[in-house]
Amino acid sequence: MNKYERLKTDLEVAGTGKLKAFGNSMLPILKNGSLLTFVKAPDYNIGDIVFCKVKGRYIDAHKVVKKDTNKGFLIANNHGFENGWTKTIYGKVTVAEYQGRTIYKIE
């Protein structure tokens, strides 16, 4: 089981899960190597940083930039690159930690 399948299972079973995310696509909000805490939510909104699947590929920490009743959610990084539309979101980031410090938190 890879880290994405584990997180997906954790969210389905417990409603929460953690994953370390790598890359610079969400700078300056998230840093390379941030430990992210995800929660399953009843709905997702523009601006939420989510774990989802777009075109058959897991996306571990990109933003919802648009919502459409028919298409679902448009997912993009923090630099304007759009991954595509999805109706499959597993959870959203509520806390990001980097080097032992909280760098992002939503209530």
pLDDT tens for 10-44 read 999 999 999 999 999 999 999 999 999 999 999 99
Q: Is the pLDDT of residue 107 over 90?
A: no
pTM of the full structure = 0.95
pLDDT at 1: 87
Is the torsion defined by CA of 30, 18, 1, 51 positive or negative? negative
The whole-number pLDDT of residue 55 equals 94
